[in-house]
Amino acid sequence: MSQHAPALSRRDVLRAAAAVTAAGALAACGKKDDQATNGVVDVELWHGQVDTGKAAIDALINEFNRTHPGIRVSGGGGGVTADSMLQKVTAGLAAGSYPDVAYIFGSDLASLTRSPKVADLTGALRLDDHWPAARDAVTVKGKVRAAPALLDSLCLVYNKKLFQAAGLPAPKPGWTWDDFTSTAKQLTDPAKGVFGTGWPGVGDEDTVWRLWPMIWDLGGDVVSADGKKVAFDQVGAQALGTLDRLRTDKSLYVDPKPGGEQLYQVFLGGRMGMVATGPWQLPDIVTRGVDYGVVPLPTYSGKPVTISGPDTWTVFDNGKAKVKAATEFVNWLGQPQQDIKWDVEGGSLPLSKATAATPAWTKHAAETEGLKVFVDALETAKVRPTIPAYPKISQFLGEAIVSVLLGKKSPDDAIRQAVEQSNGVLAVPS
């Protein structure tokens, strides 16, 4: 699930997942299965895209409809942005009126599949050449429950001008978190309002997903192999300790608003030396004329690791004809000739290695500073587990992170509470 400057708290969005179970019970009265009208199957798409993303998906819909006369996709969008899509779909399931396809964040998929109206696409999609992160994000309990829609990775973007002004060498792949914290301190200039780096500080998913690469790098995980307890209890305090050091050094800008929008504005305004972000931020950085570079995230172990937050095209069961038509559409979107258009115009990384090898992507990557770094990072990218308990684990860890960022708790105390709360949730059968 990408984190594209959400307009509202991701925690608010994730809380809506609790209603999905009830929605599944009510969804039995779903829309009538209109097999076809005049030989054409109508597919309703709620995509939630705006601006360039909307223009890109609209163009693809038009092309699909032109080349598939037996199917007509209607891309009205759903009346909400992608950040509010889970709430919209959940309400639709409860009311018995829901789309055939919706744009759903990967971290929300597992909770949504509690509804029997989410189609099982196992064996129906061509995913062999997709990056592992894309495949993992749509797989729930061993079954393919959606099609990959958008792929990203988390890397470190830095301001070359601020590095030069501080007399610091540019960061390089393989640098450590100790290197990062000391560099952030040297970049910080309170007199000029310059921060070394920043972190979202509201406890939402944007706050949390940046910590997982640090935990994975230290040998931890979100949950244990058997899924009965969390697996960040031994290393979480060390990861939070890095944030605490940044706070103590006063080199960290803590964004008080959801979505990280202020954090990015500080960077775009030339007052932040480094920011962890995804490829979606590059167009704004280029537009603002920031002289920037991109490097992989720092590491504790010396082995590169990052996170990908893929989004999905989730298909809903409004009858066999509609599921078949909707599946054909999302399969078509994932093919290289369509994927490349979505990647370049909509801001995704290539869903597959085949797309990444196309001349069009090679040209696009060569024209965009640092884009190749984000693609290369997919080789070591992991995704959050597709389990229904994840939203609650994220909420508890988010609260722990904020308590450290604000100096209200020590890393040890903060992680201890998050572990206890999360294990309590995992102890209850989903």
Residue 11 has pLDDT above 50, yes or no: no
Report pLDDT digits (tens) over 168-220: 999 999 999 999 999 999 999 999 999 999 999 999 999 999 999 999 999 99
Q: What is the pLDDT of residue 323?
A: 98
The better pLDDT of the pair 118, 38 is held by 118
Cβ-based neighbours of 91, under 8 Å, separated by 6 or more:
23
Report pLDDT digits (tens) over 229-256: 999 999 999 999 999 999 999 999 999 9
Report the C-alpha gap between 255 and 266 in whole angstroms: 10
Q: Which two tokens stand for residue 98?
A: 């829901």
Q: What is the pLDDT of residue 134?
A: 95
Report the C-alpha gap between 41 and 34 in whole angstroms: 8
- CATH class name, domain 155-307+389-426: alpha beta
Q: Which two tokens stand for residue 403?
A: 């308590």
Report the C-alpha gap between 179 and 176 in whole angstroms: 5
Residue 116 has pLDDT above 90, yes or no: yes
Residue 429 has pLDDT above 90, yes or no: no
Using DSSP bridges, classify how beta strands 221-223 and 230-231 pair: parallel, antiparallel or unpaired: antiparallel
Q: Which two tokens stand for residue 102?
A: 């919706």
Three state DSSP letters for 342-393: HHHHHCCCCCEHHHHCCHHHHHHHHHCCCHHHHHHHHHHEECCCCCCCHHHH
Amino acid at 149: A
3-state secondary structure of 297: coil
Mean pLDDT of 95-109: 95
**For the range 219-228, what are the long-range contacts, defined as Cβ-Cβ under 8 Å and sequence gap of 24 or more?**
219/301, 222/384, 222/385, 222/390, 222/393, 223/385, 223/387, 223/389, 223/393, 223/426, 227/387, 227/426, 228/426, 228/427
Cβ-based neighbours of 101, under 8 Å, separated by 6 or more:
43, 44, 45, 46, 313, 314, 315, 316, 326, 329, 330
Residue 363 CB neighbour total at 10 angstroms: 11
Helix runs in 1-156, H state only: 10-15, 20-26, 51-67, 85-95, 106-112, 132-137
Q: What is the pLDDT of residue 62?
A: 97
Q: CA dist 426 to 17, 39, 216, Å? A: 16, 48, 20
Residue 28 has pLDDT above 80, yes or no: no
CATH, domain range 10-151+309-382: 3.40.190.10
pTM as predicted: 0.87
CB 151 within 8 A of CB 133: yes
Residues above pLDDT 70, as percent of the chain? 91
Report pLDDT digits (tens) over 271-303: 999 999 999 899 889 999 999 999 999 999 999
Report pLDDT digits (tens) over 130-154: 999 999 999 999 999 999 999 999 9
In DSSP terms, which residues pair with 58 in a beta bridge? Answer: none
Q: What is the pLDDT of residue 53?
A: 86
Q: Where are the domains of the chain?
A: 10-151+309-382, 155-307+389-426
First CA to last CA across the chain, in angstroms? 22
Q: What is the pLDDT of residue 430?
A: 65
Mean pLDDT of 60-78: 94
The angle at the Cα of 274, spanning 272 to 278, to the nearest 5 degrees, equals: 115
pLDDT band at 125 (very low <50, low <70, confident <90, very high): very high
Report the C-alpha gap between 209 and 344 in whole angstroms: 24
Q: What is the pLDDT of residue 22?
A: 37
* H or E element that contains 78: none
Report the C-alpha gap between 72 and 326 in whole angstroms: 10
Report the C-alpha gap between 224 and 128 in whole angstroms: 27
Q: What is the pLDDT of residue 128?
A: 92
CB 274 within 8 A of CB 196: yes
Q: Which two tokens stand for residue 207?
A: 């706050």
Report pLDDT digits (tens) over 32-63: 455 566 789 999 999 998 888 899 999 999 99
Q: What is the pLDDT of residue 9?
A: 31
Domains 10-151+309-382 and 155-307+389-426 alike in fold: yes
